[in-house]
């Protein structure tokens, strides 16, 4: 359990994972669904766009599933050609006698009154259905006549049967194969695991765009960042950053979201306790949407810079002013 959580914390540091999870949290995706492409088989377009290709998609989703970040639901089973690996497979219903797929599928009809049963074709007289035995016209389905099942006839050997044999045909390499040889794999839809949603807090949504902005501005960034304090304890900050090249001037940042209209003193106190031990060059509290008045006074006293904003754009703009 604990190791799973640690694994998740590591995953959350991955920018691809952050971008992916943001899509769920922002509501852009509620369920990740595969789409079928006859050439490539099943694909997850949103994930391919994030990873910049299809080769790592399966690993990416599996890792998130195994650590319980996302849940999955069976969506389909894919059949793979045992010869070439293609998913472009068709199903052939075949004659059990000569194995030909050139069969004709028909319905068996029973004339209720006289009990005569035969294939639909033999009842067909132009647009009408007429009983070949008693010559009466059949007019009301399920009253004077009913479907009594399926009857197939092989166009190659002429034999009739009710249950065909299933074979598969690869549309790419033209190989034919049966159930015995086919490789079957599960295809899933994915949703965010509501139980770990708390770990990906609302504030966390803002971490990814802030991190991206800092990297673009030439900072070396860690998010979350684990820094060792004078006491020997490790402290976690949402973000740590220092400018490339310069002697390391480390800025640490925490993101706090208001549960009511403004962020309270609590995140200021928590940040102060950590910077007291770690002693970074500067500390910033990012308050969404704003910091309460008492908390502001306290931040001032503790030498914590404050950035307020309603959305990622507002925050990165304010950050630009504080950092440059």
Looking at the Cβ atoms of 131 and 250, the one nearer to Zn ion is 131
Exactly one of 134, 166, 270, 273 binds Zn ion (CB under 5 A); that residue is 134
Give the range of 38-46, 95-103, 207-215, 242-250 binding Zn ion by CB under 5 A. Answer: 95-103
Looking at the Cβ atoms of 48 and 122, the one nearer to Zn ion is 122
**Cα(220)–Cα(294) distance, integer angstroms:** 33
CB of 120 to Zn ion, least distance (A): 14
Looking at the Cβ atoms of 5 and 104, the one nearer to Zn ion is 104
CB of 56 to Zn ion, least distance (A): 24
Give the range of 43-51, 165-173, 189-197, 203-211 binding Zn ion by CB under 5 A. Answer: 165-173
- Which residue's entry shows tokens 């399966």? 58
CB of 187 to Zn ion, least distance (A): 18
| Alpha-helical runs (H) found in 93-201 | 120-123
Four-CA torsion 269, 274, 275, 280, nearest 10 degrees: -150
Exactly one of 6, 49, 148, 157 binds Zn ion (CB under 5 A); that residue is 157
Give the CA count within 13 Å in the CB-facing half-sphere of 54: 8
Looking at the Cβ atoms of 75 and 97, the one nearer to Zn ion is 97
Structure tokens that stand for 137 in this block: 């016209």
CB of 89 to Zn ion, least distance (A): 8
Exactly one of 95, 205, 263, 291 binds Zn ion (CB under 5 A); that residue is 95
Q: Is 154 in the site for Zn ion (CB under 5 A)?
A: yes
Looking at the Cβ atoms of 9 and 108, the one nearer to Zn ion is 108
E-state strands within 131-260: 137-138, 145-154, 160-161, 165-170, 176-177, 183-192, 219-222, 225-228, 234-237, 239-243, 251-257
Q: Is 169 in the site for Zn ion (CB under 5 A)?
A: no
Structure tokens that stand for 71 in this block: 């849940």
Give the range of 5-13, 85-93, 234-242, 282-290 binding Zn ion by CB under 5 A. Answer: 85-93
Give the range of 5-13, 19-27, 40-48, 74-82 binding Zn ion by CB under 5 A. Answer: 74-82
* Consecutive H or E run containing 29: none
In this structure, which long-range contacts are made by residues 36-39, counting pairs with CB atoms below 8 Å and at least 24 apart in sequence?
38/88, 38/171, 39/88
**Cα(115)–Cα(118) distance, integer angstroms:** 10
* Sign of the dihedral through C-alpha 83, 84, 86, 88: negative
172-201: which residues touch Zn ion (CB under 5 A)?
A: 172-173, 175
Provide the binding-site residues for Zn ion, judged by CB under 5 A.
81, 83-84, 86, 95, 97-98, 100, 111, 114, 116, 131, 133-134, 154, 156-157, 170, 172-173, 175
């Amino acid at each position: 359990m604990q190791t799973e959580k640690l694994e998740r914390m590591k995953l959350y540091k991955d920018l691809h994972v952050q971008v992916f999870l943001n899509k769920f949290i922002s509501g852009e995706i509620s369920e990740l669904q595969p789409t079928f492409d006859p050439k490539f088989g099943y694909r997850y377009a949103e994930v391919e766009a994030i990873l910049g290709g299809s080769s790592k998609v399966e690993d990416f989703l599996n890792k998130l599933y195994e650590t319980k970040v996302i849940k999955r639901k069976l969506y389909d089973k894919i059949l793979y050609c045992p010869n070439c690996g293609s998913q472009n497979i068709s199903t052939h219903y075949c004659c059990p006698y000569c194995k030909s797929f050139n069969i004709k599928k028909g319905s068996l009809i029973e004339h209720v009154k006289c009990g005569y049963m035969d294939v639909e074709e033999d009842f067909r007289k132009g647009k009408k259905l007429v009983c070949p035995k008693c010559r009466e016209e059949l007019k009301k389905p399920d009253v004077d006549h009913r479907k009594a099942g399926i009857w197939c006839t092989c166009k190659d050997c002429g034999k009739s049967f009710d249950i065909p044999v299933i074979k598969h045909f690869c549309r790419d390499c033209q190989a034919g194969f049966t159930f015995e040889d086919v490789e079957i794999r599960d295809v899933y839809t994915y949703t965010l695991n509501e139980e770990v949603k708390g770990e990906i807090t609302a504030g966390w949504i803002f971490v990814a765009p802030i991190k991206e902005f800092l990297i673009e501005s030439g900072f070396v960034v860690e998010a979350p960042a684990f820094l060792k304090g004078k006491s020997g304890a490790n402290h976690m900050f949402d973000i740590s950053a220092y400018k490339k090249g310069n002697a390391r001037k480390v800025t640490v940042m925490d993101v706090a979201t208001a549960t009511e209209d403004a962020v309270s003193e609590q995140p200021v106190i928590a940040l102060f306790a950590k910077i007291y031990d770690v002693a970074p060059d500067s500390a910033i509290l990012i308050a969404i949407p704003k910091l309460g008045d008492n908390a502001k006074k306290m931040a001032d006293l503790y030498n914590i810079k404050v950035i307020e904003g309603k959305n990622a754009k507002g925050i990165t703009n304010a950050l630009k002013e504080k950092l440059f």
